[in-house]
Amino acid sequence: MRAKKEALVLILAGGVGSRLNILVQSRAKPAVPFAGLYRIIDFSLSNVMNSGLTKVGVLTQYKPLSLMRHLGMGEAWDFTGRSRGVKILPPHTGFKDSDWYRGTADAVRQNIDFLEKNPADEVVLLSGDHIYHMDFHTMLEYHRHKKADVTVGMMVVPMSEIHQFGAGITDDENRIIDWEEKPEHPRTNLASMGIYVFDYKYLLDSLYKDREEVDFGIHVLPRAIDNDNVFAYPFYGYWRDVGTIQSYWEANMDFLRHDSPISPEAWGIRTNIEADGCSADRPPARYGSDASVSASMISAGCVIHGTVHNSVLAPGVIVEKGAVIKDSILFADCVVGQQSTVDLTICDKRVRILDGVVVGIGSKHDSPNIAHPGHLYTGISLVGKDAVIPQGVTIGRNCIINSQTTEDAYSAKEIASGETL
């Protein structure tokens, strides 16, 4: 019997990720920090590494520079050597960011030369913006056992959430017999995870066959289900698409739980500790005599003199005396001044909150953000990279303080719930 060739991996990491609002103003969604020390893409990359796969193409597009710096040459995930590596695959055509790739299948088609130069028996196609732990070796064995043309990673989700996903109807052998893409009136709660295994030749033939099929979920899968062998691979572990502010915040809070379903250390998740804002050159965290910390992630280089509860602090965050951080996520090198309160807030890098500020005042059920009601509606406020909040200012719920906002931009001491500055 002919020996199997190692599967080729493609990670889709080029989406705009607009529902993450100002967190993706200057970075691709997979490059957004997570759980203090990591980037979102670290989970997909580490799963690939831990599954013994070594040839990876990362399809980039939107704001790719921070992602490319983070990936480097792939050393952090042991993807360097004669027979292994990470290849960055930018778009070949297009004049506008949003026009470069028309969909997931179009993105892979534009990089078909990479496929052809790296022949394999299967192609593992992943998204770079999910938090999960998965053994792709087991999925590949399942795919081969079923003699499938396409295998789709799928899991049961609440029926109330299925409208966000592709949904598969299966028979008793897990063969997918029908498909609904983001159904308004679903017939199943079995959701696609955006994880696929394709037979290599089948994928190439599909991409060449119909160049108007630009998306896997909308075009390629329904046609394959009608004509070929498509199976669901059931997954029962933790998996979350962190493509919205709410789901991103919830996943970080899941990480903090005493019975957390997210365990980066046990999962073998690696990150590039030499990249921007990471902990390679940071001293240990320091705690003053008046510090109080509970149920929180405190990274290297942090200095805590106040109270931190149920929050994630990335490297280099400073919490001054009397300050209170609660239910919040602070990216690297933020500073929270004396007697300030930060409640249910996500702060991007290098935010400076001066003394006596309150971010997150009022009811969590106050007005959704007026400019982006679909992004901020549960009380979470956002503060952009390098923004400054002046002394004594109060900021309500569901607010947005844009990146690089200076003290001069504040015409009043109060930002009402739902407003954007």
| For range 289-303, the mean pLDDT | 97
Evaluate if residue 304 carries a pLDDT over 70: yes
Give percent of the chain with pLDDT exceeding 90. Answer: 72
Give 2's pLDDT tier (boundaries 50, 70, 90). low
Pairwise CA distance, residues 122 & 200, whole Å: 5
Question: Is 98 a residue whose pLDDT tops 50?
Answer: no
**CATH T-level topology, domain 278-421:** UDP N-Acetylglucosamine Acyltransferase; domain 1 (2.160.10)
Q: Which CATH architecture has domain 8-256?
A: Alpha-Beta Complex (3.90)
Instruction: Say if CB 197 and CB 144 are below 8 A apart.
Output: no
Q: Provide the pLDDT for residue 374.
A: 94
What are residue 233's DSSP bridge partners?
Answer: 153
pLDDT band at 91 (very low <50, low <70, confident <90, very high): confident
By mean pLDDT, which of 102-116, 371-385, 388-402 is the weakest?
102-116
- Note the pLDDT of residue 17: 67
CB neighbour class for 240 (10 Å; exposed up to 12, middle 13-18, buried from 19): middle
Which residue type does 209 have? K
Mean pLDDT of 122-126: 96
The Cα 88–Cα 81 span in angstroms is 16
401 touches 415 (CB < 8 A): yes
First to last CA, the chain: 65
pLDDT score for 277: 59
Count of C-beta atoms within a 10 Å radius of residue 364: 15
Statement: residue 210 has pLDDT above 90:
no
Q: Per-residue pLDDT averaged across 269-279, rounded?
A: 80
97 pLDDT more than 60: no
Query: What is the pLDDT at residue 3?
Result: 56
pTM score: 0.94
Per-residue model confidence (pLDDT) at position 95: 46
Kindly report, residue by residue over 243-271, the tens digit of the pLDDT.
899 999 999 999 999 999 999 999 999 99
Q: Which sequence spans correspond to the domains of the chain?
A: 8-256, 278-421
Q: Quick one: the chain helix, strand, coil %, rounded to 5?
A: 25, 25, 50
For 45-69, what is the mean pLDDT? 91
